[in-house]
Amino acid sequence: MGITCTRCQNSGFLNIEQIPEQHIRDDVELVLAWITEHTDHDVQVCDCCGDGQNHYREPGEHSCCDYGPHGPYAYNGGLPECY
């Protein structure tokens, strides 16, 4: 069982409101492509759901199997920042 990320409101991205509505279709690959193609924004992969470039698993969700001292959240005591 996982938890929903509250830092990005389950979107998997920070500042996603800067992307025009017509480019957001709940498609992570489209959002990542938009980020790459544009430079006048602060949109990025959520630093709680990923490393700023890629998501650890499902965007906006934290998998309990990633918790602990050896998972991606080891830097934060083994828990996502929004826990």
pLDDT at 20: 86
Asked if residues 44 and 14 have their Cβ atoms less than 8 Å apart, the reply is yes
Q: What pLDDT shows up at residue 1?
A: 59
pLDDT tens digit string along 5-47? 999 999 999 999 999 887 776 789 889 999 999 999 999 999 9
> Domain coordinates of the chain in residue numbers?
2-76
Element (H, E) at 36: helix 28-37
As a whole number of angstroms, the distance between CA 3 and CA 39 comes to: 31
CB-based burial of residue 31 (10 Å sphere; 0-12 exposed, 13-18 middle, 19+ buried)? buried
Mean pLDDT, residues 70-74 taken together: 90
| Cα–Cα dist 65/29, whole Å | 24
At 44-64, the pLDDT tens digits run 999 999 988 899 989 999 888
Q: What is the pLDDT of residue 66?
A: 85
DSSP-derived letter for residue 62 is E
